[in-house]
Amino acid sequence: MRSERRGPWYLLTGLVIGVVIGVLYAWRYPVNYTNTSPAALRADFKDQYRTLIAAAYMANGDLVRAKARLELLKDQDVYRTLSEQAQRTLAEDRYPQEARALGLLAIALGQAPPTIALASPAQTQAASPQATGATLPALTSTPGAPQSGTPASTPTPTRPPATLAPTFTPLPTRTATPTQGAPFILEREEQVCEENIKEPLIQVIVQDAAGQQVPGMQVIITWEGGEERFFTGLKPELGLGYADFTMQPDIAYTLRLASGGQPVLNLIAAECEAADGSRYLGSWRLVFVQP
Amino acid sequence: MSRWFFFFLAIAFGIALGLLYGWVGNPVRYVDTSPDTLSRDYKSDYVLMVAEAYKAESDLAAALRRLALLGNSPPGDIVREATLFAESLGYSDNDVNLMRSLSAALESGAQSPGTPAP
């Protein structure tokens, strides 16, 4: 009778003791982080990893290898992540060479059609502020898209396949390197009234003497109390020498190329008239050419 | 006697439940780790990247800054170990040579601090 009154509490007690033993064991032998993959890195370490990938890419020009390494980080949108990091690094102004390397790698990836597809305009709305055209289509990597020469990543840590020596890829940055020579001059400055551009932009197009668009040119925009730097070519679908910046109303901007040349003063978002008579803020298009 | 048996059985069941939860239901997911926890093959590739960048930049300080993420061991040791592992994995001669060059640069840099990297 007495034991029946106790009921099954002893079982619960045993269970609790078991759980306590398990927890104590876990605390006595805590998880030791070893054999992790780059995908598990903290965000700032991932940034540094990406920077190193870009620096190595600048050295060896092997885009296949760079892509294989970037895949290890398992970024959802490699192109955008690289572009945004390039802009961030540029804004920090500590390591301009690294910013440039990141930007050029992003451009090279943007030029690689097999892994890139156009995103829907809705996706584009999630783009970063300021130096991105929120109304313009952006590039995203296609999940699961076949990648020539780059085997799918596996959970097991494996040496990036592209480290195999014979897979040298012609250096895409050969075309992404800004032309050396005379400074660029402003050939054309025009107001753009296009209703499909939802926000007023400063659109910059840089061309060399041969009329080819030049990626990787650093553009500096200043206004009262602020400055922004960005590169051409980070929206390759709009041209390798293209870059844009979203203007705020009633703010006067000054734009110049970091490589030198005359600054363009007093750029203010001006009103345009729509077909239905309504008014909206237009954009500016600046075309720089090398004489 | 049978009460004790079931008592210990409950403990064992509790441990099993805990392990099942910890290993299957909600296993440890490695997030926010640092580069020094990377597995050896990733570390080797990381060192190779440092070596590739060093070849182009000749910036020993930058190489040291990057290698410092791989732990507190002397950079020369990190590169040496990574090079040996890379050789065992069958990295190309070119890649291994790059890593050896970095190792040599680190050694010469360590012997004469302040000397510009080659």
Q: What is the pLDDT of residues B40-71, one digit of tens each?
A: 999 999 999 999 999 999 999 999 999 999 98
Q: How far apart are CA A289 and CA A270, in angstroms?
A: 24
What is the side-by-side order of every strand in the sheet holding A253-257?
A226-231, A218-223, A253-257, A264-267
Q: What is the dihedral of CA B46, B48, B49, B51, to 10 degrees?
A: 130
Q: Are B109 and B118 in contact (CB under 8 A)?
A: no
A185-289 topology per CATH: Immunoglobulin-like (2.60.40)
Q: Is the pLDDT of residue A178 over 80?
A: no
Cβ contact A15–B13 (<8 Å):
yes
Distance from CA of B3 to the nearest CA of A (A): 8
Chain B segment 13-32 residues within 8 A of A by beta carbon are 13-19, 22, 28-32
pLDDT of residue A5: 62
pLDDT of residue A141: 33
Burial of A275 (0-12, 13-18, 19+ CB in 10 A): exposed
Q: Where in chain A is the domain with CATH 2.60.40.10?
A: 185-289
Mean pLDDT (whole number) for B77-96? 94
Q: Which residue has the higher pLDDT, A276 or A47?
A: A47
Q: Flag whether residue B69 sits within 8 Å of chain A, measured between CB atoms.
A: yes
ipTM surpasses 0.85: no
Among residues A181, A209, A189, the alpha carbon closest in space to that of A290 is found at A209
Cβ contact A31–B22 (<8 Å):
no
Cβ contact B52–A55 (<8 Å):
yes
Q: Is the pLDDT of residue A119 over 60?
A: no
pLDDT of residue A46: 95
Cβ contact B49–A53 (<8 Å):
yes
Q: How far apart are CA B100 and CA B108, in angstroms?
A: 12
Lowest mean pLDDT of A202-206, A260-264, B24-28, B81-85, name the range.
Answer: B24-28
Q: Are A106 and A82 in contact (CB under 8 A)?
A: yes
Amino acid at B109: G
Q: Flag whether residue B61 sits within 8 Å of chain A, measured between CB atoms.
A: no
pLDDT of residue A260: 80
Q: Which residue has the higher pLDDT, A34 or B81?
A: B81
Q: What percent of chain B has pLDDT over 70?
A: 92
Dig out the tokens for B52 from the structure. Answer: 């590739």
Q: What percent of chain A has pLDDT over 70?
A: 73
Dig out the tokens for A9 from the structure. Answer: 């509490």
Q: Flag whether residue B39 sits within 8 Å of chain A, measured between CB atoms.
A: yes
Q: Is the pLDDT of residue A239 over 90?
A: no
Q: pLDDT band at residue A170, thresholds of 50, 70 and 90?
A: very low
pLDDT of residue A114: 39
Cβ contact A42–B32 (<8 Å):
yes
Nearest Cα residue in chain B from A166: B92
The full DSSP string for A220-242 is: EEEETTEEEEEETTSSGGG-TTE
pLDDT of residue B92: 93
- pLDDT tens figures, A8-58: 888 888 888 888 887 788 777 766 677 889 999 999 999 999 999 999 999
**B3, B41, B53 member nearest A159 (Cβ):** B41
Q: Is the pLDDT of residue A281 over 80?
A: yes
Best probe of the B interface among A5, A33, A63, A102, by most B CBs < 10 A, is: A33
Average per-residue pLDDT for chain A = 74
pLDDT of residue B109: 74
- pLDDT tens figures, A195-224: 888 889 999 999 888 888 888 888 889 998
Lowest mean pLDDT of A68-72, A120-124, B24-28, name the range.
Answer: A120-124
Amino acid at A36: T
- The whole-model pTM stands at 0.57
- pLDDT tens figures, A181-191: 678 889 889 99
On chain A, the residues whose CB falls within 8 A of the CB of B19 are: 22
For chains A and B, count residue pairs whose Cβ atoms are closer than 8 Å.
144
pLDDT of residue A30: 65
Q: Is the pLDDT of residue B118 over 70?
A: no
**B35, B44, B53 member nearest A59 (Cβ):** B53
B32: phi > 0 → left, psi -120 to 50 → alpha, else beta; which? Answer: left
Best probe of the B interface among A163, A168, A171, by most B CBs < 10 A, is: A163
**B52, B69, B94 member nearest A165 (Cβ):** B94
Dig out the tokens for B66 from the structure. Answer: 């990057």
